[in-house]
Amino acid sequence: MRNDTRLIHEGMDPKQHHDSLTVPLYQTSTYTFHSAEQGQRRFAGEESGGIYSRLGNPTVEVLEKRMMALENGGGALAFGSGMAAVSTILVHLTKAGDHILCSKGLYGCTFGLLGIFETKYNITHTLSELASRQEIEEALTDKTTVIYVESPINPTMEIVDLALVCEVAKERGIRVVVDNTFCSPYLQQPLVIGADFVLHSATKYLNGHGDVIAGILVGRDADEMHQIRMTVQKDYGGIISPFDAWLILRGLKTLHVRMDRHVTNAEKLLSYLKTEPAISKIFYPFDEDHPQMAIAKKQMKAGGGLISFVIEGGTEAAQRFLNNLRLIHVAVSLGDAETLIQHPATMTHSVVPEEDRLAMGIDNGMLRLSVGLEDAEDIIDDLKKAFQAI
Ligand code: LCS
């Protein structure tokens, strides 16, 4: 199957589910054993089958199989949030005293998690542009076990050259984790490029309907993914609920058509935003003024549905602009049918100290627009009116 077909069919055999067309919702916490000995065999791993839904659930399993196929991995795990996926893989790959090399910018809570790692376990990190082999090599230490990158970076839309990072990491046996939330596997497939793990806030494009918090982790190696399932995921316990998995399966069926529309709407909005005199900078990966457009085009199928821009006048001007929008909702999150806009300095990245935030390139006047699926002209009209009002 090709990926657009996998979105709809992968992992689901109606014959195994009473000929149901859609994946049934197994809303159960536990499974009944036919005998005490069978329970013993299942716990011992000698017989497959249900044990307890923190260890596996048939609805969740279809989602995991589907995501594994879409990302070209060997195994996948679903979580109760994107942050549960982030924390699980970082706990798996590090021990006290290790070092994590990161992209220059990170989602605010990922940055917060790294702070916890540092204070509690002396696991340090460095943020780097990772722009050249030399820069990557200089930022590595003999304690580096992981390179953790977002690309595009939330919310600056900077791009990391994934092939370059993977090449340098592979030479040194360092594992590469890519947060692919902004792209979804429809636009970018980091495992194909050479990463070891790819993760998502499934809250965003994968689900696409603004009604679930969830995460996905896909790894190259099936045995290692099973090991993570039976250790960090099981014992830290950040699993997804079957209902949320069911909703994401429903959302995934339209990922390709939704992403196409997010992208065409974003392109229309970009053309308009470039004519707005109040905007001093615009960040969109496939914009010809984006300094890393060539790298973006090498690894992404299209520019995605997020545009960030800076308006003159800092936080005060940004807030005045937001307060004059009527159709576009002021909200964090992204990847939904509704167009959403947020102010990273006071919202998603407010936990990042100002000095670090500015070093990440997040100005006080920056706004991040998650372009929805409405008629692009209506979104543009709303933006125009807000600009006129300020
Ligand atoms: N990674 C990225 C790139 C994200 O943008 C987010 C959430 C996460 C991980 C964490 O996922 P969650 O636990 O929320 O499912 N990003 C958000 C954002 O930009 N606005 O609100 C949440």
Please give the distance, rounded to the nearest whole angstrom, from the Cα atom of residue 44 to the centre of ligand 1.
36
Residue 72 in tokens: 């070209």
Q: How far apart are CA 82 and CA 143, in angstroms?
A: 26
132 CB-near residues (< 8 Å, 6+ apart): 164
340-342 and 279-283: which strand pairing? unpaired
As a dihedral over the C-alpha atoms of residue 248, residue 225, residue 239, residue 182, rounded to 10 degrees, the angle is -40
Report field, pTM of the whole predicted structure over 0.75: yes
DSSP E strand stretches across 162-233: 175-179, 197-201, 215-219
Question: Among the atoms of ligand 1, which is closest to the Cα of residue 214?
Answer: 15
- Whether ligand 1 lies within 6 angstroms of the CB of 203 is answered as yes
What residues does each domain of the chain span? 3-252, 255-389
- Residue 182 Cα: closest atom of ligand 1: 3
Q: What is the pLDDT along the chain (390 residues), one digit of tens a residue?
A: 999 999 999 999 999 999 999 999 999 999 999 999 999 999 999 999 999 999 999 999 999 999 999 999 999 999 999 999 999 999 999 999 999 999 999 999 999 999 999 999 999 999 999 999 999 999 999 999 999 999 999 999 999 999 999 999 999 999 999 999 999 999 999 999 999 999 999 999 999 999 999 999 999 999 999 999 999 999 999 999 999 999 999 999 999 999 999 999 999 999 999 999 999 999 999 999 999 999 999 999 999 999 999 999 999 999 999 999 999 999 999 999 999 999 999 999 999 999 999 999 999 999 999 999 999 999 999 999 999 999
Q: Where in the sequence numbering do the catalytic residues fall?
A: 54, 107, 179, 204
What CATH number labels 3-252? 3.40.640.10
**How many whole angstroms separate alpha carbon 386 and alpha carbon 390?**
6
Fold adopted by 255-389: Aspartate Aminotransferase, domain 1 (3.90.1150)
Q: Evaluate: CB of 331 within 6 angstroms of ligand 1.
A: no
Q: Is the CB of 112 under 6 A from ligand 1?
A: no
| Minimal-distance CA residue to ligand 1 atom 19 | 333
| 83 Cβ below 6 A of ligand 1 | yes
C-beta of 145 in contact with ligand 1 (< 6 A): no
Distance 60 CA to ligand 1 centre (A): 21
What is the arrangement of strands in the sheet containing 366-370, beginning at the earlier edge strand?
279-283, 306-311, 366-370, 340-342, 329-330
